């Protein structure tokens, strides 16, 4: 009977020690896994910063190259849309367009397409944005450079999203 009790106690003690070792091993494995995940996260963050640091100047250069090519078209479309709206809602209203001298042919063409003969074209003041439409209700500034600046700002926001 003593032998069987000793066997039973030994067996229970062995199971308890085995469980304890297994739990210790499991805890150590979990700690190691957590450390590996943290290191992996840091590495990933570093790679993201490095990639964005290289990508942002490239995206800025693309915007700088493409913006001037599309600038005249966008400006013309925006001005035509506004002139059509004014011609429809206030056809008798006098308007003034201020722009650089080199834009006069495009402005005259837009005024003709919009059937808005009572508009006056003036030279832009020094330091004035690209194009300004002035009416009795207010003024609208058309500056496609602001679009490029806005795109660059969005690109910069991507860089700081960490």
pLDDT band at 161 (very low <50, low <70, confident <90, very high): low
pLDDT digits (tens, 9 = 90+) for 46-73: 998 888 888 888 988 888 887 776 777 7
* pTM listed for this prediction: 0.51
Whether the per-residue pLDDT at 162 is higher than 70: the answer is no
Please give the average per-residue pLDDT across 26-39, as a whole number: 93
Instruction: Tell me which residue range forms the domain holding 30.
Output: 2-159
Total number of domains in the chain: 1
Q: What beta strand segments (E) does 8-157 contain?
A: 95-99, 119-123, 131-135, 138-142
Q: Parallel, antiparallel, or unpaired for β 119-123 and 131-135?
A: unpaired
| pLDDT at position 90 over 70 | yes
């Amino acid at each position: 009977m003593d032998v069987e009790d000793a066997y039973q106690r030994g067996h229970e003690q062995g199971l308890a020690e085995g469980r304890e070792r297994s739990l210790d091993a499991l805890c150590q494995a979990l700690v190691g896994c957590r450390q590996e995940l943290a290191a992996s996260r840091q590495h990933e963050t570093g790679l993201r910063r490095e990639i964005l640091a290289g990508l942002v100047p490239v995206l800025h250069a693309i915007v700088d190259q493409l913006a001037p090519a599309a600038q005249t078209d966008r400006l013309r479309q925006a001005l035509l849309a506004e002139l059509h709206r004014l011609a429809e809602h206030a056809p008798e209203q006098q308007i003034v367009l201020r722009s650089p001298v080199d834009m006069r042919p495009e402005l005259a063409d837009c005024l003709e397409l919009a059937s808005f003969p009572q508009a006056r074209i003036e030279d832009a003041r020094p330091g004035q944005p690209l194009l300004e439409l002035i009416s009795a209700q207010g003024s609208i500034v058309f500056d496609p450079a602001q679009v490029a600046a806005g795109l660059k700002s969005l690109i910069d926001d991507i860089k700081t999203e960490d």
